[in-house]
DNA sequence: CGGTTTTGACCAGCGC
DNA sequence: GCGCTGGTCAAAACCG
């Protein structure tokens, strides 16, 4: 199976890796009807995943177009690789870009979609934050949480996190101050150096791992309806051209081979997990699908 | 036991 | 000066 995301292919040779398809000899064989139902369910899931990939692909294309426009503008003497508040990695060089999270003197915002049921105000951005306050503000019923960077003894970086007033599943993180330390928090030593830390999903994470829920595209542990709803949301956003910052951030994630590989792995793991639950050992040939 | 989170109290800035 | 609001402090609770 070859998943092509723009120019960044994820290659999953042949079938789902053997270690993801553990055998369950202890289970009794399933009646044909049950197996048919399961097959149908897996097909539906595949179509959902396909939809997700389409969304990712379209965002990739969009980003590429945008980068090309920026490059053209650069050639015309307009020097800027900033879109909104998030710095776009330099894609026209071989250097591994670091996604610069807003640490400028001027406060800036990022938007992160979370699981609808996840009511914590946590935004995984690679830094370690210590919450020092929470307040309900006048213009938004959702409480605003105040965080300070705890990675260095004296780091002036702060952030405020509050749910979007219009969409409770979106967290708005406002960054203030600069980090006075270089190293970002490395959650996994297996991830390639130089990659944006925010782009890294833990390769060993379970589908229901809360950590992965903080990233927009970490849909792997979601229910079927959740996935569909979010895909529809994303499609709608694409069509309406709204929430540009989210799209740009997501696009930068998608561009990262490490992220896309992790996503693909998580998807495969999810399918396997569900098989485990129901005691099935379907040898899915995704290439055929 | 040390680090983190929670939460009520406190403070500063601003408009009236 | 007073009230409102956003931001911060700090003690207690919580957690690994």
Model confidence pLDDT, tens digit, residues A75-128: 544 333 333 333 333 333 333 333 333 333 456 778 887 776 677 787 777 788
Cα separation of A120 and A113, whole Å?
12
Q: How far is the CA of A137 from the C1' of B16 (A)?
A: 21
A169-205 pLDDT tens trace: 788 888 887 777 765 543 333 333 333 333 333 333 3
Burial string for A57-80 (b: 16+ CB within 10 Å, else e) reads ebbbebbeebbeebeeeeeeeeee
A128 Cβ nearer than 7 Å to chain B strand:
yes
Q: How far is the CA of A240 from the C1' of B3 (A)?
A: 45
| Nearest nucleotide from residue A134 CA, by C1' atom | B7
Q: How far is the CA of A131 from the C1' of C2 (A)?
A: 32
pTM score > 0.75 for this model?
A: no
Please say if the pLDDT value at position A221 is more than 50: no
In this structure, the number of other CB atoms found within 10 A of the CB of residue A97 comes to 18
Cα separation of A79 and A118, whole Å?
40
A146 Cβ nearer than 7 Å to chain C strand:
yes
A154-168 pLDDT tens trace: 788 888 888 887 777
Mean pLDDT of chain A: 55
């Amino acid at each position: 199976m070859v998943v092509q995301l723009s120019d960044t292919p994820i290659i999953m040779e042949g079938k789902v890796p053997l270690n993801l398809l553990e055998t369950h000899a202890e289970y009794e064989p399933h009646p044909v009807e049950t197996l048919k139902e399961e097959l149908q369910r897996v097909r539906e899931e595949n179509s959902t995943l396909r939809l997700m990939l389409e969304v990712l692909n379209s965002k990739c294309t969009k980003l590429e177009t945008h980068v090309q426009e920026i490059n053209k503008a650069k050639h015309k003497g307009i020097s800027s690789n900033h879109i909104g508040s998030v710095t776009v990695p330099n894609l026209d060089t071989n250097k591994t870009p670091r996604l610069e999270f807003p640490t400028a003197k001027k406060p800036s915002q990022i938007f992160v979609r979370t699981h609808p049921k996840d009511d914590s105000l946590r935004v995984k951005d690679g830094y370690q934050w210590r919450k020092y306050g929470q307040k309900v503000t006048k213009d938004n019923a959702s409480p605003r949480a105040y965080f300070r960077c705890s990675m260095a003894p004296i780091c002036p970086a702060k952030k405020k996190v509050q749910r979007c007033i219009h969409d409770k599943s979106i967290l708005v993180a406002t960054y203030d101050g600069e980090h006075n330390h270089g190293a970002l928090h490395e959650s996994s030593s297996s991830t390639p150096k130089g990659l944006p830390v925010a782009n890294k999903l833990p390769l060993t994470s379970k589908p229901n791992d809360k950590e992965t829920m903080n990233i927009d595209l970490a849909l792997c542990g979601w229910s079927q309806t959740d996935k569909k709803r979010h895909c529809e949301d994303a499609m709608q956003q694409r069509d309406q051209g709204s929430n540009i910052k989210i799209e740009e951030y997501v696009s930068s994630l998608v561009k990262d081979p490490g992220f896309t590989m992790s996503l693909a792995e998580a998807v495969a793991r999810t399918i396997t997990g569900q098989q485990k639950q129901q005691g099935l050992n379907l040898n899915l040939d995704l290439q055929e699908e």
